[in-house]
Amino acid sequence: MKAHLTRRYMFSASHRLHSDELSEEQNRSTYGKCNNQHGHGHNYIVEITVSGPVDDRTGMVCNLVDLDGFVHREILERYDHQNLNRLQEFAKNVPTTENLCIAIYEIVERGFGKAHLDKVRIEETMMNSFEYSGENGR
């Protein structure tokens, strides 16, 4: 029997949406107020959905302690209270929430092998959320 588990986490971070590939005017028209030179912050809500067979012994898709520990070490410690523009994964990519979603998906896919990763969803604001399901899910 296959089941899905979605776990929610929260962190705060800032970013400035700005591309070196665009002129100042293009950046302003593309990103609007999010192109503010001083940046702005969000309280992100990250949902990680994994799936797999329900273990007969534990009754779970995966051990929540393992998932929580991994996410704390690899995601929350990396991104919480950071300026995303200053992180390596955004040296060449604009730190949009779409790109943040992909970065988090890749970290979990590479490092958490105790269940199949289905998707990562990030709520940036009450009005904006983003979801990534990997290359095959595009």
Q: Is 101 exposed, middle or buried (0-12, 13-18, 19+ CB in 10 A)?
A: buried
CATH number of the domain at 45, please: 3.30.479.10
* Catalytic one of 25, 81, 101, 131: 81
Q: Number of structural domains, the chain?
A: 1
The sign of the CA dihedral 31, 37, 41, 44 is positive
Phi, psi angles (nearest 5°) of residue 62: -155, 160
* pLDDT tens digits for range 81-128: 999 999 999 999 999 999 999 999 999 999 999 999 999 999 999 999
**Residue 137's pLDDT band (cuts 50, 70, 90):** low
Q: Read off the pLDDT of residues 12-61 as tens digits, 9 standing for 90 and up.
A: 999 999 999 999 999 999 999 999 999 999 999 999 999 999 999 999 99
Which is the catalytic residue, given 34, 89, 98, 106? 34
Q: What is the pLDDT of residue 124?
A: 97
Please give the pLDDT value at position 1: 78
Per-residue pLDDT at 138 exceeds 60: no
Q: Is 89 a catalytic residue?
A: no
Q: Which candidate in 18, 42, 101, 124 is catalytic?
A: 124
Mark whether 81 is an active-site residue. Answer: yes
34 is known as an active-site residue: yes
CA-CA distance, 13 to 97, in Å (whole number)? 11
Q: Which domain range does residue 24 map to?
A: 2-137
Helix, strand, or coil here: 87?
coil
